[in-house]
């Protein structure tokens, strides 16, 4: 089969302005909980798109680790590719895609580092192996496989029997939404799209053409 011939219909649900919460964060929570209840695999996975100072984009999958009225939180090495992008251009776009529910959510907004205290709290909740990995991996830098194994071994030895602190170059970012779009697949590509746009302290809700 040709790639161009790959297609399927979407017909599970509908979405209208009357269905959604006036607050997009609450609407996100409703959909996220439904994805969890339906046991969507990796429901917390999202694409994260960033761009450098020249506007050259890059995109990767990361895991959301929290959300509230302030925004959406993920963690990484500040010296990684995405960390360098965010230093130069502190804006990002997120996309969640839940195939089992025929849904996606797009989010765009400014990005800030979360507090050191909040980064410490999350780091301290991680398994020991993940903590060691944060120290051992010079994320996004060229390495040999043996170098990484040696680094991991060295840090395991260094912190054996001790509390592992958070590396100063590792922590959380929060994407503070300015736009959120909820997409529900519909037959004949007539998909439902409801978009929220931030206007001061309020949100404006519109339907977009599919």
Segment 54-112, tens digit of pLDDT: 999 999 999 999 999 999 999 999 999 999 999 999 999 999 999 999 999 999 999 99
Percent of the chain with pLDDT over 70: 99
Mean pLDDT (whole number) for 137-143: 83
Express each pLDDT in 156-177 by its tens digit: 888 888 899 999 999 999 999 9
pLDDT(138) > 90: no
Q: CA-CA distance, 59 to 35, in Å (whole number)? A: 23
pLDDT at 166: 97
Instruction: Give the residue from 62, 162, 74 showing the smallest Cα distance to 118.
Output: 74
Mean pLDDT (whole number) for 186-209: 96
pLDDT(129) > 80: yes
Mean pLDDT (whole number) for 129-144: 87
Q: Which two tokens stand for residue 76?
A: 């990484």
| 7 vs 39 pLDDT, higher one | 39
Q: CA-CA distance, 210 to 199, in Å (whole number)? A: 23
| Catalytic-residue membership of 186 | no
Q: Which residues of 171-203 are buried (b: 16+ CB within 10 A; e: fewer)?
A: bbbbbbbbebbbbbbbeeeebbbbbbbbeeeeb
Percent of the chain with pLDDT over 90: 85
Q: CA-CA distance, 67 to 63, in Å (whole number)? A: 12
Q: State the angle between helix axes of 145-159 and 128-136 in degrees (0 to 180), rounded to the nearest 10.
A: 120
pLDDT at 147: 72
pLDDT at 68: 97
Q: Which of 153, 189, 193, 207 is catalytic?
A: 189
Average pLDDT, the chain: 94
């Amino acid at each position: 089969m040709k790639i161009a011939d790959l297609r399927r219909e979407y017909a599970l649900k509908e979405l209208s302005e009357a269905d959604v919460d006036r607050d997009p964060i609450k609407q996100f929570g409703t959909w996220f909980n439904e994805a969890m209840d339906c046991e969507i695999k990796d429901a917390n996975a999202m694409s994260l798109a960033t761009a450098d100072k020249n506007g050259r984009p890059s995109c990767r999958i990361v895991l959301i680790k929290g959300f509230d009225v302030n925004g959406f939180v993920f963690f990484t090495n500040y010296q990684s590719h995405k960390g360098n992008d965010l230093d130069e251009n502190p804006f990002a776009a997120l996309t969640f895609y839940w195939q089992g529910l025929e849904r996606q959510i797009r989010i765009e907004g400014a990005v800030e580092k979360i507090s050191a205290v909040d980064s410490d709290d999350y780091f301290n909740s991680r398994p020991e192996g993940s903590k060691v990995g944060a120290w051992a991996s010079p994320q996004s830098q060229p390495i040999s496989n043996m170098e990484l194994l040696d680094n991991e071994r060295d840090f395991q030895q260094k912190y054996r029997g001790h509390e592992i602190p958070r590396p100063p170059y590792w922590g959380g970012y929060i994407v503070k939404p300015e736009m959120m779009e909820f997409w529900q697949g519909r037959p004949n590509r007539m998909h439902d799209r409801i978009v929220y746009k931030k206007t001061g302290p309020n949100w404006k809700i519109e339907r977009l053409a599919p």
